[in-house]
Amino acid sequence: MPDPQFFNEGDLVAVLTSQPLDRTLDYKAPEGGCWQGAFVEVPLGPRKVLGVVWQSGEGDFDYAKVRSVIRVLDVAPMQQSMQTFLRRVSDYTLTSMSVMLRLATRAPGLGDPPSMQHVYRMGAAEVLRMTSARGRVLAVLEEFGGLSFTLTELADAAGVTSSVVKGLVKLGAVAQEATPRDVPFPWLDPMLPGKTLSREQAEAAAQLLTNFDGYGTTLLKGVTGSGKTEIYLEAIAACLEQGKQALVLLPEIALTAEFLTRVEARFGGKPAEWHSGVTMTERRRAWKMVGQGDAQMVVGARSALFLPFQNLGLIVVDEEHDTGYKQEDGVLYNARDMAVLRASLIQAQVVLASATPSLESWVNAKAGKYRWIELKSRYGQAVMPDMRIIDMRGETLPGDRWISPSLQSMVKERITAGEQALLFINRRGYAPITVCRACGNQVGCDNCDARMVEHRFLKRLMCHQCGETKPVPSVCPTCEVEGRLAVVGPGVERLAEEAASLFPEARVAVLSSDMFGSARALKAQIKALSAGEADVIIGTQLVAKGHNFPLLTLVGVIDADLGLQGSDMRAAERTFQLMRQVAGRAGRSDKPGVAVMQTHQPEHPVIRAILAGDEEAFWQAEAVEREAAGVPPYGRLAGIVLSSTDPQEAFDVGQTMARNCLPLTNIGAQVFGPATAPIARIRGRHRVRLLVKAQKSAPIQAALGEWLAQFKLPNSLRLSIDIDPQSFY
């Protein structure tokens, strides 16, 4: 990269703002000048908006009329590699630069003067009326003499309410001081010793750290419980030792707590966190400290990729196959792919970790584009669970029960042995369908082409498309007959009810993302469960993702056929990954585990591949099938969704677009559709899909851009483009 330019006062600069304009705007550099990349405040009409000095100005306006930059913000300027990254992601995903900039500045008050917070230390005054609560507060301050605490830290550490601390402040026994809120993150020490690695782990770590300079991507494949985390912690240590920053992406906030604890144990401090569960002030602190190099490590969700790292040396994408990495609204990017892009622009390393990699990464590794490191056995005494099926055709069960007699007796054995059993069903809520037995109609969402799902826990029906809820009706909304509504099918809540009645002596707990008011409550529940505070855990997909439940020795998959029905090209891959991940929850410590799948299709090739555990064969077969179909990773796809409140309008525009597709046929691409989308209506908007399919090497973005530029879309119509779509809803 060339050095950033400096602009003197009055020079024309082009500023990118987060306003929905398709271009940069010219301004005059402010008094004192500014650097390329500087974050600035500029006037726009009557308002002041945030922007970045992108390059020198275009100069196509009357200089005298060009306004000046108001001020340069007191944050580290955007690096040129970040400018390039935003540009490349914008080009790849066909997203406007203003939206990219918003993604890169998702912290409030970046331009505000440093805000202050109160911290607490030992005060001078004696306490006359000592209580045990007061005593504990003073004892904490005594013990950590030099440190100051925030109010919650101090109250938590002493196990008292904050009013006890405030009372001591009034008495002068505790001193309250104001300090800047945006303080550097604690130092992480890469020289602290890690765990003693097993031989297989040590070999993997050594391999990973060979040629650990410059750009490189490694697929770290290892069965669940093999210690992948320990291996990439070694890579993080090496990165920190080089004085560089490290980023770890996790697919699920609920996973961060356990990981943070491990980081703290390894490096002696907590890293910065970046995800939707982090407060706004913490977000701003993280953003600023990352930019000025005062946060060595960030643990976060996919948008952490757009933080202004000063010197990023390593990106870890844990559970790299997880579909959560593909953002399904807003900017449609796959964080795994963009991590590789970002690293390649700044000569950094990438580690993609998974027990069940995506076919994309598997192919890249096989082709030698990624380094392949594999851990084949679990750490220590743990062995992979024994995989079995229960053929549901041979079980007798009433229509409103889902736990087969065979599975019941296995669960009972675990309860007796004081171990845990997990029953897995990938469906939130109580029941997926509410039907009227008088007229036969199913209760649907008013805004979407979707059924309303009963959530008994919330006492409401909920649409999983738009989130709309309504009270559970007693009268059929269609025929208005009373008392004939019935629920059909199982959800996680209903399964819990069944388990509670089958195993009255057991403690049954439910783990589903929507049943917790906050990320904190969810984390607490996971912690309690792994400590053994339940005998039977009923869980959705959430439990499949990397938690450690040491006492868990049985996993029962209620409906292994659920994922096999979709028309999605990734249905087989997803089912395979999910079943292997769930099964991986069993027997993670010294007790061996069993995973059983209830299925009506024991002969299905995917079920057989899962049972056989022959991954290589499964991936080979998948690869052959996708290559034959010319779909990713062997071909390119782009999904176009047109939506409008008027179904005819969306369809007509789709038809016009399909007919005028010369820019696409010129690169050998095909256009399919328009067709009504599988979910024909969301939030009151009717949806029509087009699918563009091209060869892997075809310049699909450029052609799409040229194609779309031909049409002037009515304002009532919305268009979204999804490059490399993961789902086709």
Strand partners, 49: 42
Under rule CB under 5 A, residue 463 binds Zn ion: yes
Beta-sheet pairing, 452-455 with 460-463: antiparallel
Joined tokens for residue 542: 């959430």
The span from the CA of 40 to the CA of 71, in Å, is 6
The 3-state DSSP class for residue 118 equals strand
- Binding partner of 465, given Zn ion, ligand ADP, none, CB within 5-8 angstroms per partner class: Zn ion
Under rule CB under 6 A, residue 81 binds ligand ADP: no
- Binding partner of 468, given Zn ion, ligand ADP, none, CB within 5-8 angstroms per partner class: Zn ion
Task: Give the range of 193-201, 203-211, 415-423, 697-705 binding ligand ADP by CB under 6 A.
Answer: 193-201
593 to each of 381, 491, 540, how far by Cα in Å?
Answer: 12, 25, 19
Least distance CB 462 / Zn ion (angstroms): 9
Q: Which is nearer to ligand ADP, 258 or 294 (CB)?
A: 258
Least distance CB 350 / ligand ADP (angstroms): 17
Q: Which is nearer to Zn ion, 113 or 471 (CB)?
A: 471
> Is residue 169 within 8 Å of 152, Cβ to Cβ?
no
The span from the CA of 658 to the CA of 86, in Å, is 30
- Binding partner of 132, given Zn ion, ligand ADP, none, CB within 5-8 angstroms per partner class: none
- Count of CB atoms situated within 10 Å of the CB of 131: 12
The 3-state DSSP class for residue 13 equals strand
Under rule CB under 6 A, residue 225 binds ligand ADP: yes
Among 105, 229, 256, 581, which residue interacts with ligand ADP (rule: CB under 6 A)?
229
281 to each of 162, 270, 278, 429, 519, how far by Cα in Å?
Answer: 20, 17, 8, 34, 17
Task: Give the range of 466-474, 608-616, 648-656, 657-665 binding Zn ion by CB under 5 A.
Answer: 466-474
The 3-state DSSP class for residue 56 equals strand
- Binding partner of 190, given ligand ADP, Zn ion, none, CB within 5-8 angstroms per partner class: none
Task: Give the range of 24-32, 132-140, 467-475, 616-624 binding Zn ion by CB under 5 A.
Answer: 467-475
Joined tokens for residue 217: 């991507």
- Binding partner of 445, given ligand ADP, Zn ion, none, CB within 5-8 angstroms per partner class: Zn ion
Least distance CB 196 / ligand ADP (angstroms): 6
Joined tokens for residue 608: 């057989």
Under rule CB under 6 A, residue 228 binds ligand ADP: yes
The span from the CA of 334 to the CA of 324, in Å, is 9
> Is residue 265 within 8 Å of 194, Cβ to Cβ?
no
Under rule CB under 6 A, residue 230 binds ligand ADP: yes
Residues 495-524, mask of contacts with ligand ADP (x by CB under 6 A): ------------------------------
Task: Give the range of 195-203, 234-242, 665-673, 676-684 binding ligand ADP by CB under 6 A.
Answer: 195-203
The span from the CA of 250 to the CA of 523, in Å, is 14
Among 224, 356, 426, 643, which residue interacts with ligand ADP (rule: CB under 6 A)?
224
Beta-sheet pairing, 433-436 with 485-488: antiparallel
Kindly identify the residues of this chain, within the stretch 376-405, that bind ligand ADP according to CB under 6 A: 379
> Is residue 185 within 8 Å of 289, Cβ to Cβ?
yes
Strand partners, 56: 13
Under rule CB under 6 A, residue 548 binds ligand ADP: yes
Spell out the alpha helix ranges (H) of 242-324. Answer: 256-267, 280-291
Under rule CB under 6 A, residue 319 binds ligand ADP: no
Task: Give the range of 194-202, 288-296, 343-351, 485-493 binding ligand ADP by CB under 6 A.
Answer: 194-202
Q: Which is nearer to ligand ADP, 12 or 197 (CB)?
A: 197
166: left (phi over 0), alpha (psi -120 to 50) or beta: alpha
Task: Give the range of 136-144, 197-205, 238-246, 518-526 binding ligand ADP by CB under 6 A.
Answer: 197-205
Among 395, 468, 497, 625, which residue interacts with Zn ion (rule: CB under 5 A)?
468
The span from the CA of 658 to the CA of 660, in Å, is 6
Q: Is the dihedral of CA 168, 170, 171, 173 positive or negative?
A: positive
> Is residue 686 within 8 Å of 643, Cβ to Cβ?
yes
Q: Which is nearer to ligand ADP, 222 or 489 (CB)?
A: 222
Among 226, 256, 420, 525, which residue interacts with ligand ADP (rule: CB under 6 A)?
226
Under rule CB under 6 A, residue 201 binds ligand ADP: yes
Lookup result for tokens 């990438």? 350
The span from the CA of 369 to the CA of 218, in Å, is 9
Q: Which is nearer to ligand ADP, 455 or 545 (CB)?
A: 545
Least distance CB 596 / ligand ADP (angstroms): 21
Least distance CB 194 / ligand ADP (angstroms): 8
Beta strands, E only, 378-533: 386-391, 420-424, 433-436, 452-455, 460-463, 469-471, 485-488, 508-511
Under rule CB under 5 A, residue 694 binds Zn ion: no
Task: Give the range of 87-95, 101-109, 225-233, 460-468 binding ligand ADP by CB under 6 A.
Answer: 225-233
The span from the CA of 594 to the CA of 556, in Å, is 8
Q: Which is nearer to ligand ADP, 319 or 573 (CB)?
A: 319
Q: Is the dihedral of CA 353, 564, 301, 536 positive or negative?
A: negative
Q: Which is nearer to Zn ion, 283 or 427 (CB)?
A: 427
The span from the CA of 267 to the CA of 190, in Å, is 6
Least distance CB 470 / Zn ion (angstroms): 10
How many C-alpha atoms does 688 have within 13 Å on its Cβ side?
Answer: 24
Task: Give the range of 136-144, 191-199, 514-522, 610-618 binding ligand ADP by CB under 6 A.
Answer: 191-199
Spell out the alpha helix ranges (H) of 559-675. Answer: 571-583, 605-612, 615-629, 647-659, 662-665
- Binding partner of 228, given Zn ion, ligand ADP, none, CB within 5-8 angstroms per partner class: ligand ADP
How many C-alpha atoms does 123 have within 13 Å on its Cβ side?
Answer: 20
Residues 421-460, mask of contacts with Zn ion (x by CB under 5 A): ------------------------x-xx------------
State the number of binding residues for ligand ADP (CB under 6 A). Answer: 15
- Binding partner of 441, given Zn ion, ligand ADP, none, CB within 5-8 angstroms per partner class: none
Lookup result for tokens 């009963």? 454
Spell out the alpha helix ranges (H) of 159-293. Answer: 162-171, 199-209, 228-241, 256-267, 280-291
- Binding partner of 230, given ligand ADP, Zn ion, none, CB within 5-8 angstroms per partner class: ligand ADP
Least distance CB 201 / ligand ADP (angstroms): 5
Least distance CB 546 / ligand ADP (angstroms): 6
> Is residue 633 within 8 Å of 693, Cβ to Cβ?
no
Under rule CB under 6 A, residue 195 binds ligand ADP: yes
- Binding partner of 224, given ligand ADP, Zn ion, none, CB within 5-8 angstroms per partner class: ligand ADP
Q: Which residues bind ligand ADP (CB under 6 A)?
A: 195-198, 201, 222, 224-230, 379, 548
Q: Which residues bind Zn ion (CB under 5 A)?
A: 445, 447-448, 463, 465-466, 468
